[in-house]
C-alpha cells in the first residue's frame, strides 16, 4: 500500500481543527483523530459541557442564598436526563456538523484512525495500516483522564471519568470523587447541587493546592459545607460494595484503613498528554519528564518540521492556551522566515465551582519560594457597595504586586463573577500597566462589583507609597521607584 502524500498532517481535531482556515486552502491536508467524538476535548467532554452542567447547579443552590435575602425559593426536583439531553442535544450536532464540514472540503481528508510515527515524515494509521507522509506535521493530540487505582473488573462500569460521567442515565444516591483539583471541585459542586451525597477523596491536605494558599484554604472550607471531604487519604483499592455499589478503600493520615461506600465513582485525579500514543521516538520528537512534547517558543518540537500545541505539549491544559498556540503555529507555517513566539507570561485560569475562582500570575507561596519582594492586598467582597448589598462575608480578591515597579505579580479572586472580574487584571499584566494608573486614571462604575478591583489596587498603592518612603524614594508616573 503506497503512502498517501500530504503537505500538512494535523493530529487532533480540537484546536488543531481550528488550524485549518482559508489561508491554508492551497495545501493538501490530512486531519487524523481517533476519538469517539470530533472537535476535541473542550467541545465534547471539557469546558463547554461541564459549564452547561454548572449553570443548572448554580440555580439549584440559589434558594439557600436567596433565603437570607428574604426570598423564598425551592429546588423540588432535578431532572438529570433533561439536563443531560439539553447539553448533548446541542453539542453532539455541532461535533457531527463539524466533521461533516471537514469531510466536504476538497483539500482536506479526515482519517478517523489512530496515528503512530514510522519515521519523522511518516505515520501509520491503524487499524487500516495505511501510511501517510507530509512535509509539515502538527501534533494537537490532546490529553486523556489520568488513571487512579484500577477498579476490580466486575465494577469497572461504575467508575467513570469526566469523559463519561456527564452521560450517565440517572443520578446516583452516593458518589465518591477521587481528586483535589479543578475537575473534582467542579463536579463536586455539580452533583452535590443536584442532590447527590458526594464525598471528595484526595491524598492532599486541601483542595486546589496549586491555587494561592489563601484561596485553597478558603475554598476547601466552603466546598466542605456542600460535600464530605476525605483529605490526606490516598486510595488503596476500588472494590465491589454492598447492594451493587462500590467500596473505595483509603488510608488516613495515621495509616488506618477507611472505607467509602458509593453507587458511582468519578476518577478526577487529572489528565495526561497523549504523546505516548504517537510513537514519538521513531520521529525523534522528545518529551519532558511528565510526558509533554518539548517545544520551543515558536511551538516547534525537537524536529524542525514537526510542531505541537495544546494539551499534548502544554502543562496548562487550557483551551485558551491551545487556541493561542494554534494561532502561533498558523503564522509560523505561513511565514517560516518570520516566526513569532507564544506568549505564556500571564496564563489565566478559572474554576467554575461554588464559589467560583479566577486567577492569573504568581501565588504568594511561589513569590516566597523565589525570594521576590511583594506587597499583598486582600479585599473582601463585602467592603464594596455591591458586595455589601449581597451581604457577602466570605469572598475576596487577593492582589500581589512588586513594590519596586508597581506592577501586578498575581491576582486571585474567589466569589461571584470571579472568572469575569479577573479579566481586567489579566489586561493590566499583559499590557504592563502600573497599579496606580489603573486605579486612578479611569472611572469605576458605582455601585458595581469591579469596585472590588479598584479598592484592592488603591490598597496596594497606599502600601507601596509607605514602602517607598521606607526605602527613601518616591514613585514616578510610570510606577518606577526613583531615589
Per-residue pLDDT reduced to its tens digit, 403-434: 999 999 999 999 999 999 999 999 999 999 99
Mean local confidence (pLDDT), 120-147 = 97
Confidence label for 481 from pLDDT (cuts 50, 70 and 90): very low
Distance, in Å, from the CA atom of 259 to the CA atom of 256, rounded to the nearest integer, reads 10
Distance, in Å, from the CA atom of 340 to the CA atom of 24, rounded to the nearest integer, reads 18
Rg (CA), the chain: 25
Decide if pLDDT at 482 tops 80: no
Q: What is the pTM of this model?
A: 0.95
Mean local confidence (pLDDT), 464-482 = 70
Mean pLDDT of all residues in the chain? 96
Instruction: Give the pLDDT score at 182.
Output: 97
Per-residue pLDDT reduced to its tens digit, 152-170: 999 999 999 999 999 999 9
Per-residue pLDDT reduced to its tens digit, 36-66: 999 999 999 999 999 999 999 999 999 988 8
What is the three-state SS of the chain? Answer: CCCEEEEEEEECCCHHHHCCCHHHCCCCEEEECCCCCCCHHHHHCCHHHHHHHHHHHHHHHHHHHHHCCCCCCCCCCCCHHHHHHHHHHHHHHHHHHHHHHHHCCCCEEEECCEEEEEECCEEEEECCCCEEEEEEEEECCCEEECCCCCCCHHHHHHEEECCCHHHCCCCCCEEEEECCCHHHHHHHHHHHHCCCEEEEECCCCCCCCCCCHHHHHHHHHHHCCCCEEECCCCEEEEEECHHHCEEEEEECCCCCEEEEEECEEEECCCEEEHHHHCCHHHHCCCECCCCCECCCCCCECCCCCEEECHHHCCCCCCHHHHHHHHHHHHHHHHCCCCCCCCCCCCCCEEECCCCCEEEEECCHHHHHHHCCCCEEEEEEHHHCHHHHHCCCCCCEEEEEEECCCCEEEEEEEECCCHHHHHHHHHHHHHCCCEHHHHHHCCCCCCCCCCHHHHHHHHHHHHHHHHHHHHHCCEECCCCCEEC
Instruction: Give the pLDDT score at 148.
Output: 80
Confidence label for 473 from pLDDT (cuts 50, 70 and 90): low
- Per annotation, catalytic residue among 157, 335, 344, 446: 446
Contacts of residue 30, Cβ cutoff 8 Å, sequence gap at least 6: 4, 6, 8, 9, 10, 108, 109, 110, 111, 132, 134
The domains found in the chain, sorted by start residue, are 4-145+272-334 (3.50.50.60), 153-269 (3.50.50.60), 355-482 (3.30.390.30)
Is 412 an annotated catalytic residue?
A: no
Decide if pLDDT at 100 tops 60: yes
Decide if pLDDT at 474 tops 70: no
Instruction: Give the pLDDT score at 480.
Output: 42
Instruction: Give the pLDDT score at 475.
Output: 54
Q: 68 or 360: which carries more pLDDT confidence?
A: 360
Decide if pLDDT at 483 tops 60: no
Mean local confidence (pLDDT), 361-385 = 98
Parallel, antiparallel, or unpaired: how do β-strands 474-475 and 481-482 relate? antiparallel
Confidence label for 120 from pLDDT (cuts 50, 70 and 90): very high
Decide if pLDDT at 337 tops 70: yes
Decide if pLDDT at 20 tops 70: yes
Instruction: Give the pLDDT score at 478.
Output: 43
Residue with cell 514519538: 280
Distance, in Å, from the CA atom of 292 to the CA atom of 407, rounded to the nearest integer, reads 32
Per-residue pLDDT reduced to its tens digit, 280-335: 999 999 999 999 999 999 999 999 999 999 999 999 999 999 999 999 999 999 99
Amino acid at each position: 500500500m503506497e503512502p498517501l502524500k500530504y503537505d500538512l498532517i494535523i493530529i487532533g481535531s480540537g484546536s488543531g481543527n481550528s488550524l485549518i482556515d482559508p489561508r491554508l486552502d492551497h495545501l493538501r491536508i490530512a486531519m487524523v483523530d481517533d476519538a469517539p467524538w470530533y472537535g476535541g476535548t473542550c467541545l465534547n467532554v471539557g469546558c463547554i459541557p461541564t459549564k452547561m452542567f454548572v449553570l443548572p447547579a448554580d440555580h439549584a443552590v440559589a434558594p439557600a442564598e436567596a433565603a437570607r435575602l428574604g426570598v423564598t425559593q425551592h429546588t423540588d426536583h432535578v431532572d438529570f436526563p433533561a439536563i443531560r439531553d439539553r447539553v448533548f442535544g446541542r453539542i453532539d450536532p455541532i461535533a457531527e456538523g463539524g466533521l461533516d464540514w471537514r469531510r466536504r472540503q476538497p483539500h482536506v481528508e479526515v482519517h478517523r484512525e489512530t496515528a503512530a510515527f514510522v519515521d519523522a515524515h511518516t505515520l501509520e494509521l491503524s487499524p487500516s495500516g495505511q501510511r501517510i507522509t507530509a512535509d509539515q506535521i502538527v501534533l494537537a493530540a490532546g490529553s486523556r483522564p489520568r488513571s487512579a487505582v484500577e477498579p476490580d473488573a466486575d465494577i469497572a462500569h461504575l467508575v467513570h471519568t469526566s469523559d463519561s460521567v456527564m452521560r450517565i442515565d440517572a443520578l446516583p444516591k452516593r458518589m465518591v470523587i477521587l481528586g483535589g483539583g479543578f475537575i473534582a471541585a467542579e463536579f463536586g459542586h455539580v452533583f452535590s447541587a443536584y442532590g447527590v451525597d458526594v464525598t471528595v477523596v484526595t491524598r492532599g491536605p486541601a483542595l486546589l493546592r496549586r491555587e494561592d494558599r489563601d484561596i485553597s484554604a478558603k475554598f476547601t472550607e466552603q466546598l466542605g459545607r456542600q460535600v464530605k471531604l476525605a483529605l490526606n487519604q490516598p486510595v488503596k483499592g476500588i472494590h465491589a460494595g454492598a447492594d451493587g455499589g462500590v467500596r473505595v478503600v483509603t488510608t488516613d493520615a495515621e495509616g488506618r484503613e477507611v472505607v467509602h461506600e458509593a453507587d458511582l465513582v468519578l476518577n478526577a485525579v487529572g489528565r495526561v498528554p497523549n504523546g505516548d500514543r504517537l510513537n514519538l521516538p521513531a520521529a525523534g520528537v522528545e518529551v519532558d519528564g511528565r510526558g509533554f512534547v518539548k517545544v520551543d517558543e515558536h511551538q516547534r518540537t525537537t524536529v524542525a518540521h514537526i510542531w505541537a500545541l495544546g494539551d499534548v505539549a502544554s502543562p496548562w491544559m487550557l483551551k485558551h492556551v491551545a487556541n493561542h498556540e494554534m494561532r502561533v503555529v498558523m503564522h509560523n507555517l505561513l511565514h517560516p522566515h518570520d516566526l513569532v513566539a507564544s506568549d505564556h507570561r500571564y496564563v489565566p485560569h478559572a474554576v467554575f465551582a461554588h464559589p467560583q475562582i479566577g486567577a492569573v500570575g504568581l501565588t504568594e507561596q511561589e513569590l516566597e519560594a523565589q525570594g521576590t519582594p511583594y506587597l499583598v492586598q486582600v479585599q473582601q467582597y463585602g467592603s464594596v457597595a455591591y458586595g455589601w448589598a449581597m451581604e457577602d462575608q466570605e469572598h475576596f480578591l487577593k492582589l500581589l504586586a512588586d513594590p519596586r515597579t508597581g506592577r501586578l505579580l498575581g491576582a486571585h479572586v474567589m466569589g461571584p463573577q470571579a472568572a469575569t472580574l479577573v479579566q481586567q487584571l489579566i489586561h493590566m499584566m499583559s499590557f504592563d500597566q502600573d497599579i496606580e494608573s489603573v486605579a486612578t486614571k479611569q472611572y469605576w462604575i458605582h455601585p458595581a462589583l469591579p469596585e472590588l478591583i479598584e479598592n484592592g489596587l488603591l490598597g496596594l498603592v497606599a502600601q507601596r507609597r509607605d514602602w517607598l518612603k521606607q526605602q527613601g524614594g518616591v514613585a514616578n508616573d510610570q510606577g518606577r521607584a526613583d531615589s
